[in-house]
Structure formats: C-alpha cells, structure tokens
C-alpha cells in the first residue's frame, strides 16, 4: 500500500520511466473516492470577480498620483493601507489628505517618502499580495512576479538558483530535514501552498526554506530558514476528495527580499490557460517511486482543456482545478512537489501562480495529467488571510 505523500515534480526520460504493471496503477496523493456515488455533488460557488478589479474590495495598492499637504508627492490609497496616521490628524489638516478612488471610495494622499526607500523596498511590501496585472506597463523593474532576468543586475550573469525566487521548500527537522512539500512566497510573511501537506502536522513540526537550489551544496545560495506561526487551511478542504486543497502559511518573521527570495503575483480572475504552457518546479521524485532530487528541477507542461481532463478520470474534477502534463506522458509533477506553484508568464513579463500542485495518478503516465488547485478561484480567500484587516 502506498502512503499518501506530497505530489512532486517530474521530468522523465522515456528510457528511464517506471511504469506500474497493467491493472495495478497506484494512486499518488489521491483522495479516497470509494465512498462517492452517482448522487454525490458539492457546490463550488466562488467569487467571479478578481479582487484587484472588483469595486467591492479595498485593494492594498497605489492609485492616482496626488500632492499631500506641504507639497509632498504621493499616491491615493485606502486609509487602512497608509502608514501615515491620517485619522489621528485633527481638524482641517486631515481633510487636505483626502482623495477619491475610482469615483467610489474616499482615500488619503499617502506620501511616497514614507512608503518607499527604494522601488523594491517598503512600497513593494505594502502592496502585497498583488495581481500580475496590477502594475503599470512602464513599471517593469519592481513588484511581484519578476526574476533577476527582468531586473537590472549590471554585468553579472544570472544564476539558475535565482530563476524561481518565490519557491519555498517545507521540511521536517525531526526527519533529517526531509523535504516533503513546496510552496510559493506571495508576501513578506505568507506562503501559498496545499492544505493536504499538513495532515497531522502542527506549525512547530516543520520549517520553511526560501532561496534554496541545491540541497547537496551548503552555502551555495543565500537561503534562509523560517519557523511557522500559523497554518491556515481552507475551511472546506476535504481530505476525502482534495477539494479546496489550498493553504496559507504565516512565517514567524518577515522576509528580506533579494534576488534569491522574491514574491510571485496572483493571477487574473477567470483567465483561460487551456492550450498554453506553464511551468512547475520542485525537489520531488524524479520519476514515480524513484529518488527525490537534491537540485531544483523544472518542467514545462501544457494546460489541458478542462473537458478532456474530466473525461480522463473516473473521479470528479471540479472547476476549481487545473490539469497539466505532457499529453504524450513523461512530463508531470510527482511525489514531493505538493503545494508548489504552477506558474505562467503574462504578456507584461510578470509570473503568476495559476495553480497549486495537488494530486495525480502515478507520475507522467500518458493520458493522466496532474491536478492543480486553481488559484484564481480563491483570490478573496487569499486576500482575507493576508492583507484584509
């Protein structure tokens, strides 16, 4: 019997791919579907508007330019996200800070000089988590979803260790620092990952490492380990079906962003990725039932048409899931990559986390893609647990 462990990333050469005997395909990270019958149905109603575009929500971002009292340049922001205590300013002076956001909300002109010491400093932190389409087109060198390749680094050659700076690895100190899941950095204190990673675990049972690349080479990157203060699994996560397989980890201290540790963006709402190519990376098994990798591996995989994915499984595949893998087999995620992000690069150059590695049957088997939690279906839930106060 195979234990349900975390799904990992896989690039399988055809000559090395392990295939289970006919009739004995094992379930990897599979929920127990035996109790389901034809009458089984669960509602998956989700918000249909992206948090960054919906006037229902107050997003932590800069709006139009403005001039605060004292001829101080700034940007209009919702008052709860401005470090300046405008509410505590008495009399007419407070009125001089007021501005209008999108013709609906009353905001305050928040001086830029208290928000940013550099373009990649405090302002970046204040605006997270952020959507990949939330930045102006000319703002190409700061904000989420950018790697060193997109940011000026002088004449230095970019290191492969900096290719995916938002990748987090989760490991257990009590088991020789064994890596068991992945995740994605979305703010200076929050990791987006999968809820099934924490079955039976408490916050002090594991650690989070950012900036890792090769576990076999100590000190080869500026990696940093973090303790966890809170695990926030989705309230409707089902261990039986893996529905709502999403979680937010809160770190015990803030991350100091650098070229090895940088946040990824949240995706646009309701965008279609069918037929497009995304990327998944991790340190999981290199092939089904094989060894894990000490070096970070990555693979590009096509996003399947949802109907084709539904037809490929006897289990119910909901609209809160994405399916991705090489149609011919051999390229997939696998044991150990659970919780890691499925990422896609928008036209503006920013990378967004469109999926979270959740479950699959085998690894890289032809006709059986990996199943990912679809991130855009959970944007309000993510924001509520990161920036909404």
Both 276 and 199 in one domain: the answer is no
Confirm if 133 and 147 have CB atoms less than 8 A apart. Answer: no
Indicate whether 275 and 364 sit together in one domain: yes
In three-state secondary structure terms, 109 is strand
> Which of 114-128, 144-158, 160-174 shows the lowest mean pLDDT across its residues?
114-128
Place of tokens 């959970």: 378
Does residue 125 lie in a domain region?
no
pLDDT at 41: 34
Question: In whole numbers, what is the pLDDT of the chain averaged over residues?
Answer: 79
The residue annotated as part of the active site, out of 243, 245, 365, 376, is 245
Q: Among this protein's residues, is 196 annotated catalytic?
A: yes
Task: Map residue 356 onto helix, strand or coil.
Answer: strand
- Res 25 pLDDT > 70: no
Choose, from 293, 318, 321, 338, the residue flagged as catalytic: 338
Residue 61 pLDDT greater than 90, yes or no: no
189-to-184, 211, 371 alpha-carbon distances in Å? 11, 14, 27
- Say yes or no: 32 and 81 in one domain: no
Question: Is 256 in the same domain as 269?
Answer: no
Q: 99 and 30, same structural domain?
A: no
CB 64 within 8 A of CB 29: no
Strand partners, 299: 280
The 10 Å Cβ neighbour count of residue 178 is 13
Q: Which of 263, 296, 330 is the last residue in one of the domains? A: 263
Position 60 in a domain = no
Asked if residue 213 belongs to a domain, the reply is yes
**Alpha-carbon span 22 to 346, nearest angstrom:** 41
Same domain, 270 and 209: no
The predicted structure's pLDDT at residue 307? 95
Q: Does residue 158 register a pLDDT over 50?
A: yes
| Average pLDDT estimate for 178-185 | 96
Going from the C-alpha of 374 to that of each of 42, 263, 313, 318, 348, the distances in angstroms are 17, 18, 18, 10, 21
Whether 119 is covered by a domain: the verdict is no
pLDDT category, 196, cuts 50, 70, 90?
very high
State residue 73's pLDDT score: 80
pLDDT digits (tens, 9 = 90+) for 344-384: 999 989 999 999 999 999 999 999 999 999 999 999 999 88
Residue 329 shares a structural domain with residue 251: no
Q: Same domain, yes or no, for 259 and 276? A: no
d(CA 181, CA 333): 12
Quick one: which H or E segment has residue 247?
Answer: strand 247-251
pLDDT at 33: 36
Same-domain status, 274 and 253: no
Of residues 325, 317, 330, 305, the one with CA closest to residue 370: 325
Helices (H) and strands (E) in the chain, counts: 4, 20
Q: Please indicate whether residue 338 is annotated as part of the active site.
A: yes
**246 and 220 both lie in a single domain:** yes
Model pLDDT for residues 244-262, shown as the tens digit of each residue: 999 999 999 999 888 899 9
pLDDT, tens digit (0-9, with 9 covering 90-100), for 2-21: 233 344 344 433 222 223 33
- pLDDT for 231 equals 98
230/257 same-domain check: yes
Structural domain tally of the chain? Answer: 3
Q: What is the extent of the structural domain holding 26?
A: 7-37+264-377
Which CATH number does the domain housing residue 353 bear? 2.40.10.10
The arithmetic mean of pLDDT across residues 153-158, rounded, is 51
Cβ contact 355:3 at 8 Å: no
Q: What's residue 88's pLDDT?
A: 62
Q: Which of 75, 78, 190, 196 is catalytic?
A: 196
Last residue of a domain, one of 238, 263, 288: 263
Given this model, what pLDDT does residue 220 score? 78
Evaluate whether 189 touches 251 at the Cβ level (below 8 Å).
yes
Same domain, 301 and 228: no
**Strand ranges (E), the chain:** 7-11, 27-28, 65-68, 72-77, 98-101, 105-111, 167-172, 178-185, 190-193, 207-210, 224-226, 228-233, 247-251, 277-282, 297-302, 321-324, 331-335, 341-345, 351-361, 370-374
pLDDT in tens, 304-347: 999 999 999 999 999 999 999 999 999 999 999 999 999 999 99
Q: What is the per-residue burial (b if ≥16 Cβ within 10 Å, else e) of 52-75?
A: beeeebbbbbbbeebebeeeeebb
In a domain, 46, yes or no: no
pTM score: 0.72
**pLDDT above 80: residue 42:** no
What pLDDT, on a 0 to 100 scale, did the predictor assign at position 217?
Answer: 84
Q: Give a yes or no: residue 148 inside a domain.
A: no
Q: Would you say residue 293 lies in a domain?
A: yes
Give residue-wise pLDDT tens across range 137-151.
Answer: 666 667 899 987 554
Question: Does residue 322 fall inside a structural domain?
Answer: yes
DSSP sequence for 83-95: SS--TT--THHHH
77 — pLDDT class (breaks 50, 70, 90): confident
Of 224, 240, 263, which one is at a domain's C-terminal end?
A: 263
In the residue annotation, 39 being an active-site residue is answered as no
Task: Name residue, tokens 């926030």.
Answer: 232
């Amino acid at each position: 019997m195979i234990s349900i462990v975390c799904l990992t990333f896989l690039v399988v050469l055809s000559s090395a791919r392990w295939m289970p005997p006919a009739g004995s395909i094992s379930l990897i990270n599979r929920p127990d579907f035996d109790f389901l019958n034809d009458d089984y149905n669960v509602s998956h109603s989700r918000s249909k508007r992206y948090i960054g575009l919906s006037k229902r929500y107050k997003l932590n971002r800069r709006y139009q330019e403005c001039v605060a009292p004292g001829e101080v340049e700034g940007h209009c922001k919702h008052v709860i996200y401005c470090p300046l205590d405008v509410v505590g300013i008495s009399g007419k002076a407070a009125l001089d800070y007021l501005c209008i956001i999108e013709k609906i909300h009353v905001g305050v002109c928040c001086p830029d000089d208290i928000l940013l010491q550099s373009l990649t400093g405090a302002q970046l932190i204040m605006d997270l988590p952020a959507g990949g389409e939330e930045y102006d087109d000319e703002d190409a060198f700061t904000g989420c979803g950018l790697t060193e390749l997109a940011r000026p680094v002088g004449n230095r050659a970019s290191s492969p260790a900096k290719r995916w700076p938002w990748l987090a690895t989760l490991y257990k100190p009590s088991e020789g620092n064994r890596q068991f899941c992945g995740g994605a950095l979305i703010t200076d204190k929050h990791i987006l990952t999968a809820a099934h990673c924490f079955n039976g675990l408490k916050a002090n049972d594991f650690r989070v490492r950012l900036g890792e690349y090769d576990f076999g080479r100590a000190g080869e990157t500026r990696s940093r380990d973090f303790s966890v203060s809170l695990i926030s699994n989705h309230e409707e996560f089902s261990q039986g079906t893996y529905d709502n397989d999403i979680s937010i980890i809160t770190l015990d201290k803030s991350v100091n962003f650098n070229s090895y540790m940088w946040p990824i963006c949240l995706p646009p709402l309701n965008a279609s990725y069918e037929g497009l190519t995304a990327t998944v990376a991790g340190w999981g098994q290199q092939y089904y039932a094989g060894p894990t990798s000490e070096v970070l591996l990555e693979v590009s995989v096509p996003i399947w048409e949802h109907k084709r994915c539904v037809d490929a499984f006897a289990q119910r595949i909901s609209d809160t899931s994405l399916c991705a893998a090489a149609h011919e087999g051999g390229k997939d995620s696998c044991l150990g990559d659970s919780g890691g992000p499925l990422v896609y690069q928008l036209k503006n150059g920013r990378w967004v986390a469109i999926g979270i590695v959740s479950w699959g049957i085998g690894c890289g088997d032809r006709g059986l893609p990996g199943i990912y939690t679809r991130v855009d279906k959970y944007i309000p839930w993510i924001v509520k647990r990161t920036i909404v106060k």
